[in-house]
Amino acid sequence: MRQASCYLDHLSAHRAQLETEKSFEAYRKWVIVESGWYDQVVLPNGSIRREAKSIRFAKMDDVEFSELYQASFGVLWNSILNGYFSDEGEVELDVNRLLVCL
C-alpha cells in the first residue's frame, strides 16, 4: 500500500509540472464557434459537437465578412478585451493603428 501511495504522490507531482500549450488554432476555432459560425456534427454515440466553419476571406462578400467580424469582436470583447480597454471604440483605434504598421 505504501508503494502505491508513493507512486501516486510522484505521479501527481509530475503532472503538476506539465504546462498546457497555448494554441492559436484552437483559440481561433473557439472564437468562431462562439460567434455562431459553426456546423453541427453528430458523433457515433449520438452526441452533437459544434465545429468551426472553414473561413476563406477571399470567397466572402462584404456583408458576410462584416457579420463574422462583428460577431467575433463581440466574443473577444466579452471574454478578454473589456478587461483591458475602457470601451469598444478604443479597441478599434488600436486595431487600426496596428493595421497601419503592417
Q: What is the pLDDT of residue 100?
A: 84
Q: What is the pLDDT of residue 59?
A: 83
Distance of alpha carbon 68 from alpha carbon 56, whole angstroms:
12
Helix axes 62-79, 24-34, angle to 10 degrees: 110
Give the predicted TM-score (pTM) of the model.
Answer: 0.68
Q: What is the pLDDT of residue 17?
A: 63
Q: Tens digit of pLDDT per residue, the chain (102 long)?
A: 666 676 667 666 666 665 666 788 899 999 999 999 999 999 999 999 999 988 887 888 899 889 999 999 999 999 999 999 999 999 999 888 888 887
Collapsing DSSP to helix, strand or coil, 80 comes out as coil
The residue ranges of DSSP E strands in the chain, in sequence order, are 38-42, 48-52
